[in-house]
Amino acid sequence: MSGSRNVLLGLLLLSITPGCIHMHPTRSGFLSDYSGMQPLGKRDKRLVQPVAPGALAEVDSFYIEPVTWLADDLGQPVRDPRNAEHIRDSLEVALAKELGAIRPVVTEIGPQTARVRAAVTGVQEAKPLMNMILLVQIVGPLFNGGAVAEIEVIDPNGVQIAAESVAYRGYDWDVLGLFKKRTHPESAMRRAARQLAGDLTVGDATAIADDSEGCGDGPF
């Protein structure tokens, strides 16, 4: 009886495993330009447009547009609309926090304001029930959640100065996220915001001046 149960469990795992690993950067058409984006890292989970040094020299603030939700349109939705709102909000809040450390985030566009456009293009929620079964029956939770975001920064002249399409899965050590569906997607959105902020420091004239004087080790 125990052997049959394990076989059934194995078949179930095989049937759902592909949905847990297919987290890839998207090219949804949301961004104004994808041509300059390059893979960052060995796993090709991040497509990033390198930011030119001094790209923020004429930018004195950021205006963050409301985050767009495209996950449903691209076939990777969440089951609970309330979770979708939490994930979308987590990206918007994280962008304000991370970019606010570089330039002030404003509520109205000024002559030297850069616009930040972002969209959530894919979501994989964790599978709490399956993780519980694995915890009890086999070796432990395996089915992390994750999310994909596309983000760009447009300077006051309408030029795209930064862009990324990034896919992140939840950390294995984030145990709570294995049993709460939206936790890993939310953390993925915070990591996407940190990625963008790290890229933008290259285009920050102040950061470049500091580096030239031998101060600071950079964002990573």
For the stretch 80-130, pLDDT in tens is 777 788 889 999 999 999 999 999 999 999 999 999 999 999 887 655 555
Asked whether the predicted pLDDT for residue 65 surpasses 60, the reply is yes
Does 217 reside within a domain?
A: no
Classify strands 38-39 and 46-49 as parallel, antiparallel or unpaired. Answer: antiparallel
Does 220 reside within a domain?
A: no
Our count of domains for the chain comes to 1
Does 18 reside within a domain?
A: yes
Does 80 reside within a domain?
A: yes
Q: pLDDT tens digits for 158-212?
A: 999 999 999 876 545 454 545 455 676 888 899 899 999 999 988 775 544 433 3
Burial grade of 163 (CB within 10 A; 0-12, 13-18, 19 or more): buried
d(CA 61, CA 127): 40
Q: pLDDT tens digits for 122-167?
A: 887 655 555 455 555 555 545 567 789 999 999 999 999 999 999 8
Does 219 reside within a domain?
A: no
Does 41 reside within a domain?
A: yes
pLDDT of residue 123: 82
Closest C-alpha among 133, 132, 199 to residue 162: 199
pLDDT of residue 94: 96
Instruction: Provide the domain limits for residue 76.
Output: 2-212
Task: Supply the pTM of this predicted model.
Answer: 0.73
Does 152 reside within a domain?
A: yes
Asked whether the predicted pLDDT for residue 27 surpasses 90, the reply is yes
Does 194 reside within a domain?
A: yes
d(CA 152, CA 158): 11
